[in-house]
């Protein structure tokens, strides 16, 4: 995973709440067995609508998505994160994220920056009034800057540290392999196994 | 110190705890299916890692499989299923493929095999893993990176959840089911209301539910945004588990029951939040919008977005009514459907099929309505057929299918056409979930069956009595 310290890119205002992962990438796109090329499925249904924000050339190269509350609800599909990243997004800003989506994002290096809904509204206004405005997201200082606007965001300390260092979870867990083995020896013998 | 059920299960699975780090939790059972696992196996292969505990890992084919006889015709779906078969072979994981007597929806298969037991940690790359919480297990959906993580380490680094008590006291009226309870809970707390929480369902109405009904309730916890839903195990739970293929036996059974009996929230345990529902006040519940929180009692009308206080709710409801092709003020009972779907990990178990069959027996599916009945597993299908339920459905004009996720999600041939409207016993009414442009109303199996007969959203009490001659 690449380390993430700061990112600057075009902000995309997505004025919708409850953006579920079926909207981020419909199920029909989940059939690949590879980890790349999911950008064509991103918001596939909405992209049929000419007025959808990503169909505006000003925003089509966007990399910072500013969305309404409860982003990423529903299905656990990590393809939602892959689709956003394959398209070019590096940051999603929202006032509230669904738990599984936030977890999936952290593992892939997509930053989920949680801002207040008031700041999201200000960002929306700015990005709509001045389309193409760049947004800078600084993970070190936990700030979002766009035009004259500066806002702080929340991200948990552990995810922030992993993103800043570019560390992958499996290697981190395997440092505790001795403890895992020791734990396995204390499990009740009546716990089921699939094979017996 | 007093602890909740969720905290007790959590504490008993901590492998490593460090300052400022998430806890590393041991995972007792890892369930796999074809859609969210290929990239995880690929990751193992690239890193040269084995699956640590294939004996605690089980795979089934469910999301992509057709529910009519014959091979998978869609080449992309076929590749995904074939990839799962190759991966399971290579990594030594037990797989129940299409056509196997144990195949079915992953969340139906685990419990029926007795692999789902109280006090376990259970994960799957599928958000409806919360189903298994009905046994007092801590069970939740994970993403593909986490699937790879569990395959490699049999653990997951997790930040503690908050706990919410969802107390449902009283007695349900006839015709009101577990599905109505959980739809009412979601409408009350909203699709984000459970975020960060493990819900514990409790109270006399929950204790009175069968195991299968409890699974329906826990299944939809994720639709309130919750990570998991749990119900403390009791005699109902033990009776369900006992005698199943993977259940403990003899002295092990006694030891297990003794341990399981401790799995309840202490009387003085504190929850971070609490919601209370009066079971007696509940009526059949249906959704009118495009998220599971947008639901109302069947006796009401499509709500008016303009009367909603919250601006986000207002905008979301306006959009939902436009997508659903509905007008505020229309009685829900006047809404015509094209398709009725009975099945899914929410309502595809034998009791669900029995409930739907009891309503449809001696009646006919309304003209112009298509009804699909899809058992949740091969075992459920065989059980239903041994009881003659398939004949009840087919005599009424419904289609009796092979097990799979089917119309719950548009990944297999069972889909709605654009603009088509369904009454569905599944769990999500998202835009396009059942097929591009499809319109979904979430309902219980009883409401589904009654709706099939009348052609409009209905409960069994709306039906004319079956005449003697037609039985």
Residues B361 and B392: beta-carbon distance below 8 Å: yes
Q: B195 and A74: CB-CB below 8 Å?
A: no
Q: Would an 8 Å CB–CB cutoff place B39 in contact with chain A?
A: yes
Enumerate the residues of chain B whose CB falls inside 8 A of the CB of residue A196: 55, 246
Minimal CA separation from A52 to chain B, in Å: 14
pLDDT at A31: 85
Could you please report the per-residue DSSP string of B10-23?
A: HHTTEEE--TTS-E
Residues B138 and B244: beta-carbon distance below 8 Å: no
The DSSP secondary-structure symbol of B387 reads T
Indicate if the pLDDT at residue A82 is higher than 80. Answer: yes
More confident residue, B98 or B468: B98
**In the numeric block, which tokens belong to residue B79?**
């590749």
Most A CBs within 10 A among B15, B62, B251, hence the mutation to make, goes to B15
- In angstroms and rounded to an integer, the radius of gyration of the C-alpha atoms of chain A is 19
Could you please report the per-residue DSSP string of chain A?
A: ----SEEEEEEEEE--S--BHHHHS-GGGTT-SSSS-GGGGTTHHHHTSTTSGGGSTTTTT--EEEE-SSBTBS---THHHHHHHHHT--EEEES-B-HHHHHHHHHHT-EEEE--HHHHHHHHHHHHHSTT-EEEEETTTTEEEETTEEEE-B--HHHHHHHHHT--HHHHHHTTHHHHHHHHHHS-TTS--S--
Q: Search chain A and give the residue with CA nearest B36.
A: A77
Q: Cα separation of A93 and B198, whole Å?
A: 25
Average predicted confidence (pLDDT) for chain B: 96
pLDDT at B131: 98
Q: pLDDT > 90: what percent of chain B?
A: 95
Residues B174 and B459: beta-carbon distance below 8 Å: no
Query: Side by side, which strands form the sheet with B155-158?
Result: B14-16, B23-26, B155-158
Nearest-10 Cα torsion for B250, B256, B262, B264: -120
The burial of B463, by beta-carbon neighbours within 10 Å (0-12 exposed, 13-18 middle, 19 or more buried), is given as middle
Give pLDDT tens digits for B300-316. 999 999 999 888 899 99
Q: A189 and B252: CB-CB below 8 Å?
A: yes
Q: Would an 8 Å CB–CB cutoff place B258 in contact with chain A?
A: no
Q: Cα separation of B298 and B290, whole Å?
A: 16
Residues A51 and A13: beta-carbon distance below 8 Å: no
Q: What is the pTM of this model?
A: 0.92
pLDDT at B468: 58
Counting every residue written for chain A, the total comes to 196
Enumerate the residues of chain B whose CB falls inside 8 A of the CB of residue A187: 26, 28
Minimal CA separation from B85 to chain A, in Å: 13
pLDDT at B469: 53
Enumerate the residues of chain A whose CB falls inside 8 A of the CB of residue B318: none
- In angstroms and rounded to an integer, the radius of gyration of the C-alpha atoms of chain B is 22
Instruction: Report the half-sphere exposure of B449 (CA within 13 A, side-chain side).
Output: 25
Q: A18 and B146: CB-CB below 8 Å?
A: no
Q: Cα separation of A178 and B195, whole Å?
A: 33
Most B CBs within 10 A among A68, A106, A109, A192, hence the mutation to make, goes to A192
**Among candidates B15, B126, B247 on the partner chain, residue whose Cβ is nearest the Cβ of A76:** B126
Instruction: Report the half-sphere exposure of B67 (CA within 13 A, side-chain side).
Output: 33
Q: A180 and B256: CB-CB below 8 Å?
A: no
Q: A183 and B26: CB-CB below 8 Å?
A: yes
**In the numeric block, which tokens belong to residue B11?**
């504490």
pLDDT at B201: 98
Q: pLDDT > 90: what percent of chain A?
A: 87
Minimal CA separation from B216 to chain A, in Å: 16
Whose tokens are 């294939």? That residue is B54
The predicted model gives A156-171 an average pLDDT of 91
Q: In the structure, what pLDDT confidence band is assigned to residue B281 with cuts at 50, 70 and 90?
A: very high
**In the numeric block, which tokens belong to residue B368?**
């112009």
Most B CBs within 10 A among A19, A75, A179, hence the mutation to make, goes to A75
Say whether the ipTM exceeds 0.90: yes
Give pLDDT tens digits for B124-156. 999 999 999 999 999 999 999 999 999 999 999
Residues B248 and B237: beta-carbon distance below 8 Å: no
Phi, psi torsion values for B122, nearest 5 degrees: -130, 130
- Cβ neighbours around A38 below 10 Å, total: 23
**Among candidates A75, A180, A194 on the partner chain, residue whose Cβ is nearest the Cβ of B57:** A194
Spatial neighbors of B407 by CB under 8 A, at least 6 apart, are B339, B341, B343, B344, B372, B374, B414, B415, B416, B422, B424, B426, B434, B435
Indicate if the pLDDT at residue A108 is higher than 80. Answer: yes
Q: Would an 8 Å CB–CB cutoff place B42 in contact with chain A?
A: yes
Give pLDDT tens digits for A1-44. 778 999 999 999 999 999 999 999 998 898 888 888 899 999 99
**In the numeric block, which tokens belong to residue B220?**
């939809």
Minimal CA separation from A91 to chain B, in Å: 18
Minimal CA separation from B108 to chain A, in Å: 15
Enumerate the residues of chain A whose CB falls inside 8 A of the CB of residue B122: none
Q: Cα separation of A181 and B258, whole Å?
A: 26
């Amino acid at each position: 995973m690449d380390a993430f310290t700061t990112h600057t890119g075009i902000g995309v205002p997505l004025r919708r709440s409850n953006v579920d992962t079926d909207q981020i990438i419909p199920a029909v796109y989940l059939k690949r067995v590879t980890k790349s090329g999911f950008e064509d499925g991103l918001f596939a249904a909405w992209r049929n609508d000419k007025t959808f924000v990503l169909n505006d050339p000003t925003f089509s190269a966007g990399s910072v998505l500013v969305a309404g509350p409860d982003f990423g609800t529903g299905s656990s599909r990590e393809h939602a994160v892959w689709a956003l990243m394959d398209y070019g997004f590096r940051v999603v800003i929202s006032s509230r994220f669904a738990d599984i989506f936030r977890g999936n994002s952290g593992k892939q290096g997509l930053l989920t920056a949680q801002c207040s809904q008031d700041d999201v509204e200000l960002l929306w206004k700015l990005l709509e009034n001045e389309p193409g405005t760049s947004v800078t997201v600084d993970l070190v200082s936990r700030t979002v800057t766009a035009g004259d606007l500066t806002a702080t965001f929340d991200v948990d300390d552990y995810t922030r540290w992993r993103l800043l260092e570019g560390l992958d979870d499996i290697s981190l867990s395997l440092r505790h392999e001795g403890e895992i083995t020791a734990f396995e020896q204390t499990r009740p013998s009546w716990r089921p196994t699939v094979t017996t | 110190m007093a602890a909740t059920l969720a905290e007790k299960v959590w504490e008993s699975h901590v492998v490593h705890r460090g300052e400022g780090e998430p806890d590393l939790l041991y995972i007792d059972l890892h369930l796999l299916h074809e859609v969210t696992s290929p990239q995880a196996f690929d990751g193992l292969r690239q890193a040269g890692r084995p699956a640590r505990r294939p004996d605690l890992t089980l795979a089934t084919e469910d999301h992509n499989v057709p529910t009519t006889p014959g091979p998978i015709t869609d080449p992309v779906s076929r590749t995904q299923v074939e990839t799962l078969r190759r991966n399971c072979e290579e990594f030594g994981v037990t797989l129940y493929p299409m056509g196997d007597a144990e195949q079915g929806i992953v969340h139906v298969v685990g419990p029926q095999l007795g692999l789902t037991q109280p006090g376990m940690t259970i994960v799957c790359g599928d958000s409806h893993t919360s189903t298994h919480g009905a046994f007092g297990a801590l069970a939740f959906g994970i993403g593909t990176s986490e699937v790879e993580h569990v395959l490699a380490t049999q653990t997951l680094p997790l930040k503690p959840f908050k706990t919410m008590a969802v107390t449902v006291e009283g007695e349900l009226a006839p015709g009101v089911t577990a599905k109505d309870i959980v739809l009412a809970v979601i409408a009350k707390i909203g699709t984000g209301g459970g975020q960060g929480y493990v819900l514990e369902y409790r109270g006399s109405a929950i204790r009175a539910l069968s195991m299968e009904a409890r699974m329906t309730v826990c299944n939809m916890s994720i639709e309130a945004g919750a990570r998991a839903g749990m119900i403390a195990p009791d005699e109902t739970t033990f009776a369900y588990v006992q005698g199943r293929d993977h259940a403990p036996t003899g002295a092990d059974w006694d030891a297990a029951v003794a341990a399981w009996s401790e799995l309840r929230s202490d009387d003085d345990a504190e929850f971070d939040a609490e919601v209370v529902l009066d079971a007696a006040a509940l009526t059949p519940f249906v959704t009118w919008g495009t998220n599971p929180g947008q639901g109302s009692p069947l006796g009401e009308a499509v709500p008016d977005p303009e009367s909603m206080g919250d601006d986000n709710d207002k905008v979301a409801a306006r959009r939902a009514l436009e997508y659903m092709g509905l007008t505020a003020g229309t009685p829900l009972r006047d809404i015509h459907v094209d398709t009725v779907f009975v099945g899914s990990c929410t309502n595809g178990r034998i009791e669900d099929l029995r409930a739907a069959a009891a309503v449809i027996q001696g009646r006919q599916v309304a003209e112009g309505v298509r009804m699909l009945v899809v058992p949740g597993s091969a075992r459920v299908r065989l059980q239903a057929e041994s009881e003659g339920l398939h004949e009840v459905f087919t005599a009424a004009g419904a289609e009796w299918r092979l097990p799979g996720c089917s119309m719950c999600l548009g990944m297999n041939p069972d889909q709605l056409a654009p603009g088509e409207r369904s009454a569905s016993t599944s769990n999500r009414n998202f835009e396009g979930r059942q097929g591009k442009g499809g319109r979904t109303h979430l309902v219980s199996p009883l409401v589904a069956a009654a709706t099939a007969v009348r052609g409009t959203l209905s409960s069994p009490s709306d039906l004319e009595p079956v005449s003697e001659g037609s039985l």
